[in-house]
Amino acid sequence: MSNRAVFLDRDGTLNEDPGYLGDPWKVKLLPFVGEVLSRLKNEFNYFLIVISNQSGIARGLISTEQVEQVNEKINTLLKEFKVSIDKFYYCPFHPDYSTTEECSCRKPSTEMVEKAVEEFDIDLSESFFIGDSSADIECGMNAGIKTILIKTGYGRETLYMLQKENKIPNFVAQNFLDAGNFIITDLNGVSA
């Protein structure tokens, strides 16, 4: 069986997004995230991979160390559900503060997804991308992955923008439970 993954945006998808999150003590998982990730990994053998733009680093608002601490805190909170993120990839650059070359990793670019595919030998045809922004959905589409727009974070505004551009995700989820149920039903032919 080939390796499959659920690619995940971080802020606004897995955890509340207060904007440029740098304090690990402010990390709050969104409802159902722990339970759903636990099922996806432990029952259905998905790799869980975060693909995140962290332009706050380039903007000087947060440090690389703070991003790493927040990532660690997410995995600490997920331990309660007997699950962890396999790898956090993030792009620290922003076009206003960085070169075009540096920004090549920014979603909707597929560069971080490609790194994960190489590192974990992932079959994208059996994988999914869950996110709350147009960059997430476009990244998934660019990589040929089924996309799920989640209506947490910026999801509601994003849906309107994507519809105007005729870029429709494979599924629109009200919350993380909804997203997880879609994946389980879609790929495994079983109802959640």
Which CATH number is 99's domain given? 3.40.50.1000
23 included as an active-site residue: no
For residue 179, give Cα distances in angstroms to 20, 182, 192: 25, 5, 11
Measured between its terminal Cα atoms, the distance across the chain in Å is 21
For residue 188, name the pLDDT band (cuts at 50, 70, 90).
low
pLDDT tens, residue by residue, 3-55: 999 999 999 999 999 999 999 999 999 999 999 999 999 999 999 999 999 99
Question: Can you give the pLDDT at residue 187?
Answer: 72
* pTM tops 0.85, yes or no: yes
What is the span of the domain harbouring residue 67? 4-188
**Which residue in the list 9, 17, 132, 136 is annotated as catalytic?**
9
9 is an active site residue = yes
Number of domains observed in the structure of the chain: 1
pLDDT at position 192 over 50:
no
pLDDT tens per residue across span 116-168: 999 999 999 999 999 999 999 999 999 999 999 999 989 889 999 999 999 99
DSSP string, 139-175: HHHHHT-EEEEESSTTHHHHHHHHHHTT---SEEESS
Residue 187 CB partners (closer than 8 Å, separation 6+): 4, 44, 126, 128
DSSP state, residue 189:
S
